[in-house]
Amino acid sequence: MLTIKLGFALEGNSDYPVIPNLTRRVIQSYAPDTVFLPESTLRPRKRGHGFVQELHTFARQLQDDKVDMIVAVVDTDNTRVNERGRLIQEAQQRCMSNGIATCIAAGLAVHALEAWLLADELALFNVFDGDRQAVQFPSVELELSPKAAINRIVQELTHGQEVSFVPFAADLVENIRLQILRQRCPHFDDFARNVTNCFRHLERIQNQPPAG
């Protein structure tokens, strides 16, 4: 059994009900008996993908806050998959060069984080009890405006009583089937593997015999 403290480097406040919950679910699917300490309350100084350029500084702060795993997720925004992927890889390398030992689980959300919340139609139907026949779902990672798409679906399912998914983000995350999400969002599958690999790294460190 592993006890861990997580820290998060994300683009904005609306990401925090989503990514931390998904991260814990990924870890629990691999190691159900994991104990999670209260996560770090530190947040990047910059909003949007600009936080990536200062990740090495923020990662140092998280390491000083006794964080065991840093989770960094950035939106690709339209078609900038390669560009954002390169930026976050360079940021990870800079962290290593600066002697930051804390493992960083990085992820790319195409085109935005909301695409992951669109992956499992059943999750939306479980949270919003509406007319399923009236709703059309987009192809998840091909949808250029996933935030607008999910808000449209929420409005349709609630007959206009709700206009945003944000107040229900935590409920949606709890209802999403991880296997469906991994199948329909290859970039989430990559992210989940990165989280699991970081966790395995922590396991190896903890299981090492004491020196001497």
Q: How far is CA 130 from the centre of its chain?
A: 27
Confirm whether pTM is higher than 0.85: yes
Question: What pLDDT does residue 189 have?
Answer: 95
pLDDT in tens, 145-190: 889 999 999 999 998 899 999 999 999 999 999 999 999 999 899 9
How much is the average pLDDT of 200-211? 81
How much is the average pLDDT of 2-16? 90
Question: What pLDDT does residue 134 have?
Answer: 74
Residue 86 lies in a domain: yes
Verify that 44 and 96 share a domain, yes or no: yes
Q: Is pLDDT at 100 greater than 80 in this prediction?
A: yes
CATH code of 26's domain: 3.40.50.960
**DSSP code string of 30-78:** H-TT-EEPPPP----SS-GGGGGGGHHHHHHHHHHTT-SEEEEEEE-TT
> What rounded mean pLDDT belongs to the chain?
89
Verify that 143 and 84 share a domain, yes or no: no
Residue 137 lies in a domain: yes
Residue 120 lies in a domain: yes
Question: What pLDDT does residue 11 have?
Answer: 87
Residue 180 lies in a domain: no
Q: Is pLDDT at 210 greater than 80 in this prediction?
A: no
Structural domain count, the chain: 2
| Residue 78: pLDDT band with limits 50, 70, 90 | low
* Percent of residues, the chain, with pLDDT higher than 90: 54
Question: What pLDDT does residue 49 have?
Answer: 76
pLDDT in tens, 108-122: 887 778 889 999 999
Verify that 67 and 142 share a domain, yes or no: no
Verify that 203 and 127 share a domain, yes or no: no
Verify that 105 and 127 share a domain, yes or no: no
Verify that 84 and 146 share a domain, yes or no: no
3-state helix, strand, coil in the chain (%, to 5): 55, 10, 35
Residue 179 lies in a domain: no
Verify that 90 and 1 share a domain, yes or no: yes
Verify that 80 and 143 share a domain, yes or no: no
Q: Which domain holds residue 135?
A: 113-172
Q: How far is CA 132 from CA 54, 59, 136, 151, in A?
A: 44, 43, 9, 15
Q: Which residues share a beta bridge with 70? A: 7, 104
Verify that 21 and 104 share a domain, yes or no: yes
Verify that 118 and 106 share a domain, yes or no: no
Residue 178 lies in a domain: no
Verify that 1 and 81 share a domain, yes or no: yes
Verify that 4 and 75 share a domain, yes or no: yes
pLDDT in tens, 52-68: 888 989 999 999 999 99
| Residue 36: pLDDT band with limits 50, 70, 90 | very high
